[in-house]
Amino acid sequence: MVIEEAEWVGWSSDALEKAAEEGPLVINPLIFAEVSVRFPTIEEVEEAFPNDFFIRAPLPWSAAFLAGKCFLDYRKRGGEKRSPLPDFYIGAHAAVSRLRLLTRDARRYRTYFPTVEVIAPD
C-alpha cells in the first residue's frame, strides 16, 4: 500500500479498498511508526494516512498484556528474540479490540491470535 513493492502493490491496494468497504480502517502508533521510516517528514506520513480515511486508535493496556504473553509463548516455541515484539502488540491490539488485520505475514498472526480475522494474500 504505502510501501510500493511491485509484487504486492496490486494486492495491497485491492485488499485495503475492500476492507474500507467492509468497515473502518484503524492504525495505531506502532503501525504509524513502522511506515514512517519510508517518509522524510511527519506531514507526508499523515498525508498517506489521512484522518478522514483512517481511525487512529490508542493501544489498549490489555493488548500490552496479551502481546507479552503471546511473545513469551513464541519464544518458548523456539522463536527468535529478534522477532519484533511490536508485531505481537499489533496482533494483540487487533484481538482485544476485535479488529481485522491486513498483513502479508499471516502465519504468525493466525498462530498467536486465532480470533483475529486476518486479511492476507493466501
Whether residue 31 is contained in a domain is answered as yes
In which domain, by residue range, is 47 found?
Answer: 9-119
pLDDT of residue 8: 82
pLDDT of residue 2: 55
Whether residue 4 is contained in a domain is answered as no
pLDDT of residue 5: 63
- Whether pTM > 0.95 for this model: the answer is no
* Mean pLDDT to the nearest integer, 69-87: 87
Which pLDDT tens digit goes with each residue over 32-75?
999 999 999 999 999 999 999 999 999 999 999 999 999 999 99
Q: Are 22 and 14 in contact (CB under 8 A)?
A: no
Whether residue 42 is contained in a domain is answered as yes
- Bridge partners (DSSP) listed for residue 102: 119
Whether residue 81 is contained in a domain is answered as yes
* Mean pLDDT to the nearest integer, 79-84: 75
Cα–Cα distance for residue pair 49/34, rounded to 1 Å: 13
Task: Could you list the beta-strand ranges (E) of the chain.
Answer: 25-27, 54-56, 101-102, 118-119
Whether residue 2 is contained in a domain is answered as no
* Mean pLDDT to the nearest integer, 69-93: 89
pLDDT above 70 covers a percentage of the chain that reads 93
Whether residue 3 is contained in a domain is answered as no
SS3 call for 102: strand
Whether residue 1 is contained in a domain is answered as no
pLDDT of residue 81: 76
The domain spanning residue 48 has which CATH number?
Answer: 3.40.50.1010
Q: How many domains would you assign to the chain?
A: 1
Whether residue 107 is contained in a domain is answered as yes
